[in-house]
Amino acid sequence: MPESKSHKKGKGSAARTEVPIPGKRRLDAIRGKSTIEVERGGTAQKIDQALFRLKTQMNKNKILRVPQNDMEMAMKRVHHKGINVKVTNLSKTKQIKP
């Protein structure tokens, strides 16, 4: 399924997009020392899957971009999983650091 405009915009001007990772999965983007995963699904299960993909990257700053309505739920999932991830909204105007 093709990506929506807002999904592409959430990745920003990343140097590498759709980066393959083990298990026939793909990260949304890697930009310098940052790994970016955009999740627009809005469910806890989808956010957990995105966090699992981010967890594969060891020496990177991890950024999870979600719609602003889902930021609180995403932060709860991050604390529950115990992963060091910065959660931002899709337009990158608000962020919550762990």
**pTM: predicted TM-score of the whole model, two decimal places:** 0.82
**What is the crossing angle of helices 44-55 and 71-81, to 10°?**
50
Q: What percent of the chain has pLDDT over 90?
A: 41
Average pLDDT over residues 32-61: 90
Q: What percent of the chain has pLDDT over 70?
A: 83
Q: Which segment of 42-46, 57-61, 70-74 scores lowest on mean pLDDT?
A: 57-61
Per-residue pLDDT at 96: 84
Question: If 0-12 CB within 10 Å is exposed, 13-18 middle and 19+ buried, where does residue 58 land?
Answer: exposed
* 28-to-21, 36, 37, 80 alpha-carbon distances in Å: 10, 6, 5, 23
SS3 content of the chain, % helix, strand, coil (to 5): 35, 30, 35
pLDDT tens string 3-45: 667 666 666 666 567 778 888 888 888 888 888 999 988 899 9
Per-residue pLDDT at 89: 92
Domain that holds residue 56: 5-96
In the chain, the number of structural domains is 1
